[in-house]
Structure 1
Amino acid sequence: MADSWPLQLLTFLLSFTLWGYSVAMSDDGRVLLQFRATLSSGGGDAALSSWAGGKGPCMDQNVSAWTGVYCENGNVSTLQLENMGLSGKLDLDILTGLLGLRSLSFSNNSFEGPVPDFTKLPALKSIYLSMNRFSGEIPDGMFSAMRALKKVWLSHNNLSGRIPSSLTVPTKLMEVGLDGNKFEGKLPDLRQPELRMVNVSYNNLEGPIPERLSNMSASLFEGNKNLCGAPLGVSCTPSKKLAPALLVGIILIAVKVLTLLIGLIGFLLRRRAPKGKTTTDKLQPGKSKRIEDLEAASVEKGSADHDGEKKKVSKKEQGKLTFVAEGRRKFDMQDLLKASAEVLGSGNFGSSYKATLVDAPAVVVKRFKEMNGVGREDFQEHMRRLGRLSHSNLLPLVAYYYRKEEKLLITEFVPKGSLAHMLHGNRGSTESPLDWPTRLNIVKGVARGLAYLYEELPMLTVPHGHLKSSNVLLDQSLAPLLADYALVPVMNKATASKVMVAYKSPECARHGKPSKKSDVWCFGILILEILTGEFPANHLTQGKAGAGDLASWVSRIASEERASPVFDKNMKGTENNEGEMLKLLQIAMACCETDDESRWELMTVLEKIEEIKGE
């Protein structure tokens, strides 16, 4: 017995060591490692190589070094494993151990078999399983217990049978994507108050479209031969079928009439066009032309013919516009090219035009030349993702146009223009400069818009990526609208590092890569610009991103006790508000910490800003 005690001691120490490792590794970490072991992939294992050892995926509360894992309050909240070549059957049983899990995305992989059983994860808010190989029917009661569900996307699989009636149960449902499958039967009577998109296009559905969905875009229901009612414009009242011979006759007559109309319109347009005019006039901002002419004047379309005129882009090459915004009157590329337009400016990405359409609100068309970082499908998926965003402080994306060489993004026209113009281009005008209460409200609106982007796009390192005063537009009430957001995933990496503001943050100067807090740094600089009226570019040290910036200038000439010298002297409404202004200045400086580890989290910034009360 005495001889066995060393062996017992050794066994105890080994057990203690293993127990210590188990404690060190978080519960969420163990669950994810077990889940990874169930995955089959063609490269997915390498993509998830960061899932290993340590204390687990959420060491820094809300920041994870594990690929595709996003945390909240120290727990895994989002699992985003897109485009990783994962295959086999998707078993979610193991993930029931992730108590904080709220969003799942396995889009664009090769999973097959039946749709996973989501009833085991009733707290999910978002489900993205589009572009896989799931097949078969979805049990009718699948979504009965999912009271928190907001978004479910199962597009472009091989699903069949009826759409589950249990989709009527989640009261917070906002988006449903079931397009590109083989669903049949009638649409469930969805009536959720926050529902804004239901895409069931290209299935085998029949019957009337529910009244709640009748104000959505017709494109969300196309490709179903037997669907009827608004917005398709197909009557649900049965009608007698025409005899084949009569139907052919009607079609032939319609084609002839259409041909005559096209010829007549072309003749009238040629008569109205000024003779001897070319489309190579020099472009000037504010000069009204057609976008078709503006493009010919500003872009090389091809080699010149014998008369020296540029070749026009053919209709086939022009492609078509894809709309992502709901409730807007649609137009096609020809309407856009023929619209009265003026140049708004030329930025780092390309030119911007204001297009005034017939019987439709004016829009802004932005031409991007440096968006060849992703293929067509990835680009379209990201644009659809941006189209699903909806917030009072975001400028919504209306439509986009894809061509390999260039892309167009179409947004609403905002008459008041940019914050940069109001701060720096308005000197000497009759319009009063922005006062303190207005500037504070602008800061609050920008913070809320940023927080929404961080919540809705947790998979992006920099959910905005290009935050600056010229990308903050002001509506009629001077409320801010963020523009040019979330474009990093579709930009060439080299171009992004040269022109996007987040890539000029101090951590990019040190490591060459932006961090999750690079947007916060940009926001801090923007707040200082609003408070001081100083243009940030005037304080940059040539060739040193993040060095000699506006924050450094402010810190040199101001102190916590006496910051008044830095405030914009043209700012009105500052009486008795210097204490509040000083609080905002301190928040801005906390956003501009050179060390991103010491820099405040965005949600902390938002909370502190909301505490400031304006006049």
Structure 2
Amino acid sequence: MASNKTHWPFAALLVMLMCVAASSSASETESLLKFKNNLSNSTALNNWDASTLPCTGDNPNWVGVLCSNGSLRGLQLENISLAGQIDMDSLAELPNLRTISFMNNSFEGAIPEINKLGALKSLYLSYNRFGGDIPDDAFKGMKALKKVYLAKNEFTGKIPKSLAGLPKISELSLEGNQFEGRIPNFRSKDLQVVNLEGNDLEGPIPDSLSNMSESIFDGNKGLCGKPLPVLCPPSKKKLSVLAIVLIVIGVGVVALVAIGVALFISRGRRNKTSKFGRQSLAAKGHKKGTAEVPSPDHHYKKNENGKVYFVRNDRERFELQDLLRASAEILGSGSFGSSYKAVLFSGPAMVVKRYRHMSNVGKEEFHEHMRRLGKFSHPNLLPLVAFYYRKEEKLLISDFIENGSLASHLHGKRGPGQPGLDWPTRLRIIKGVAKGLAYLYRIFPNQTLPHGHLKSSNVLLDHTFEPLLTDYALVPVINKDHAQQFMVAYKSPEFTQYDRTTKKTDVWSLGILILEMLTGKFPANYLKQGKGANSDLAAWVNSVVREEWTGEVFDKDMGGTKNGAGEMLKLLKIGMCCCEWNSDRRWDLSEAVEKIEELNEKDSDIEDYSSYLSEGDMYSSRPISEDDFSFSVNK
């Protein structure tokens, strides 16, 4: 009995904690569903359902939620065309919410009432259509906020004082808006990454930003002062009321008295000016800042005996400290880590990708794999330039590609009258992607996943829109559990169903990419951590084709389609054959590449979309034969 009495309180506590946890999860579910109900075009959130909890441990059950210990920690709802109202009252009911990202959607209107989320640490609202002035107190009380991304919206007015007053802010992205007036002096000493490009700011740059790179102020014609080469004009000193009165009196008196008064005033002015000058110097006599421009990783110490290893001989050498001292601009934060644009003092811009999930690979094995990647040479692969090894994390360094990713061109915000990618450009891109993938297959004949992470954000476009594949051949060095959570290959049907990948898994990724380019729709199941969602882009395309709504498939922003309807249909059919659910019946890469190479920009010989695509089942339970994929309209 004594033993039972001893353990009873503990058992009761367990029951109570379980009830509290269940209540908390139910509360989160209710709050998130209320939040969803205020959104429009939310089909990507179809698995937000009251029958399941948002989180199980650290694993999310709902699209776009980030979990920790069974509780919701963040929302990452990007690139899914969301619109409507961001219901801050519902989000405020989530006590553990620390990060929200609604980047690359279609929200518009005034900025949401962010300060209702007092414990928020990261805010990402870039690439929407938010606009108008931001209230001066919009960020009041947000003492934990560290990252604020508001770029590429339509904000106007002054930068709010409450934003400048955030005590812990370390990253700030305001570029591509219409902010005006002076830049406020930022309070935080942790501010490392800033971008104010493309606004209408003017006046002197505050001391808190005087050690930043010049490039973060580009496009603001009225700015002056360090670090810009434009000097600020001297400030005009106003005469005191007493001096003006004395001058007026002096004008009304006789010449002799006027001379005496003038001398008196002159002496008085010199004394005042001298005194004012001494006060100004004292006010400006702050300690000169010694902080360096933000480095790609502040964890790397100056005295660390680190070495940057170069895998190519056609690039200028630099040391780790050169990299740390370079001006840096954050490009994004992905599933493997952050990416930075680093501008070296004596060389071109580089991209530094930071990886934290390669700790299961030994130093020699990692070095050998990177050296092998450095030997690759193909017009459609972005070459690895150098790498840095540390047990906890690694840096991979490559050239910066100014034109950005295919994803940004397909799903990013465009200016008024700015067209989307036209059909000839999209065809040229997919041909280059196929060639680059075929090259990886040739040099990795025994590797199941030569690429493993093929998606539109990992396809960069050079100035001629020639595609360059990135993040390729990393499966052998990525920790297996992390790879299965985030890499595209593990969203494939064969891994979803059978926990395996095959030599045709990258072909499936190619097929999804083809459909994404033709439809302009983002593959929503890529946002889900772990295995792919029950429905994907290929299933949607197939359902539209079967319902004979084929005219609704193609991206309405795709120009140059008038003379290419037949070729577009051929590519659509190629994409669907690459996405065949059964990998045994899916096309080999060589077959897909051959068919892609046969396509031309112009061919309008097909008039009936539905009848052409219904010639044979695209997702049938039987093998697709050459007869099914006839390119002749006279079948």
Specify the structure having the higher radius of gyration (Cα): 2
Give 2:304's aligned residue.
Answer: 316
Cα 1:524–1:464 change in 2 (3 A) is same
Q: CA deviation at 1:294?
A: 3.6
Q: CA deviation at 1:431?
A: 3.3
Q: 1:553 aligns with which of 535, 540, 545?
A: 540
Give the 5 Å matches for 1:49-128.
none
Q: CA deviation at 1:524?
A: 0.5
Give 2:359's aligned residue.
Answer: 372
Alignment of 1:613 onto 2:523: no
Cα 1:602–1:429 change in 2 (3 A) is farther
Q: 1:402 aligns with which of 378, 389, 392?
A: 389
Q: 1:601 aligns with which of 588, 601, 609?
A: 588
Alignment of 1:454 onto 2:364: no
User: How many Å separate the matches in 2 of 1:560 and 1:359?
Assistant: 59
User: How many Å separate the matches in 1 of 2:194 and 2:495?
Assistant: 36
CA RMSD of aligned residues (A): 2.6
User: How many Å separate the matches in 2 of 1:502 and 1:554?
Assistant: 20
Q: 1:280 aligns with which of 177, 182, 190?
A: 190
Cα 1:415–1:520 change in 2 (3 A) is same
Asked whether the 8 Å contact 2:453–2:488 carries over to 1, the reply is yes
Give 1:537's aligned residue.
Answer: 524
Asked whether the 8 Å contact 2:360–2:477 carries over to 1, the reply is yes
Give 2:52's aligned residue.
Answer: none
**Per the alignment, in what secondary structure is the counterpart of residue 460 of structure 2?**
strand
Give 1:478's aligned residue.
Answer: 465
AA aligned opposite 1:439: R
Query: What TM-score results when the alignment is normalised by the length of structure 1?
Result: 0.50
Cα 1:474–1:467 change in 2 (3 A) is same
Asked whether the 8 Å contact 1:395–1:482 carries over to 2, the reply is yes
Asked whether the 8 Å contact 1:285–1:343 carries over to 2, the reply is no
AA aligned opposite 1:320: K
Q: CA deviation at 1:359?
A: 2.6
AA aligned opposite 1:520: V
Give the 5 Å matches for 1:317-396.
317=305, 319-396=306-383
AA aligned opposite 2:522: F
Give 2:149's aligned residue.
Answer: none
Asked whether the 8 Å contact 1:434–1:572 carries over to 2, the reply is yes
Cα 1:376–1:543 change in 2 (3 A) is closer
Give 1:164's aligned residue.
Answer: none
Instruction: Render the CA deviation track for 1:42-70: whole Å, top value 9, x for unaligned.
Output: xxxxxxxxxxxxxxxxxxxxxxxxxxxxx
**Per the alignment, in what secondary structure is the counterpart of residue 316 of structure 1?**
coil
Instruction: Render the CA deviation track for 1:494-543: whole Å, top value 9, x for unaligned.
Output: 00000110011111112222211111111100000000000111798897
Give the 5 Å matches for 1:235-274.
none
Give the 5 Å matches for 1:218-237.
none
| Structure 2, gaps ≥5 residues long | 1-184, 198-208, 214-290, 603-635
Instruction: Render the CA deviation track for 1:25-56: whole Å, top value 9, x for unaligned.
Output: xxxxxxxxxxxxxxxxxxxxxxxxxxxxxxxx
Q: Answer 1 or 2: higher relative contact order, Cα 8 Å, separation at least 6.
A: 2
Structure 1 runs of 4+ off > 3 angstroms?
Answer: 275-279, 282-296, 426-431, 538-544, 559-562
User: How many Å separate the matches in 1 of 2:406 and 2:376?
Assistant: 22
Asked whether the 8 Å contact 2:360–2:479 carries over to 1, the reply is yes
**Per the alignment, in what secondary structure is the counterpart of residue 366 of structure 1?**
strand
Alignment of 1:565 onto 2:552: yes
Cα 1:465–1:450 change in 2 (3 A) is same
Give 1:422's aligned residue.
Answer: 409
Q: CA deviation at 1:558?
A: 1.7
Give 2:204's aligned residue.
Answer: none
User: How many Å separate the matches in 2 of 1:586 and 1:565?
Assistant: 15
User: How many Å separate the matches in 1 of 2:571 and 2:383?
Assistant: 28
Asked whether the 8 Å contact 1:446–1:481 carries over to 2, the reply is yes
**Per the alignment, in what secondary structure is the counterpart of residue 304 of structure 2?**
helix
Count of aligned residue pairs for this structure pair = 328
Asked whether the 8 Å contact 2:294–2:327 carries over to 1, the reply is no
Give 2:479's aligned residue.
Answer: 492
Cα 1:496–1:545 change in 2 (3 A) is same
Q: CA deviation at 1:326?
A: 2.2
User: How many Å separate the matches in 1 of 2:515 and 2:186?
Assistant: 53
Cα 1:599–1:284 change in 2 (3 A) is farther
Q: CA deviation at 1:559?
A: 4.4
Asked whether the 8 Å contact 2:491–2:526 carries over to 1, the reply is no
Alignment of 1:514 onto 2:424: no
AA aligned opposite 1:280: D
Give 1:589's aligned residue.
Answer: 576
Alignment of 1:437 onto 2:424: yes
Cα 1:338–1:379 change in 2 (3 A) is same
Q: CA deviation at 1:571?
A: 0.5
Asked whether the 8 Å contact 2:488–2:526 carries over to 1, the reply is no
Q: CA deviation at 1:286?
A: 7.3
Identity %: 56
Q: CA deviation at 1:576?
A: 2.6
Q: CA deviation at 1:465?
A: 0.5
Give 1:309's aligned residue.
Answer: none
| Structure 1, gaps ≥5 residues long | 1-274, 302-311
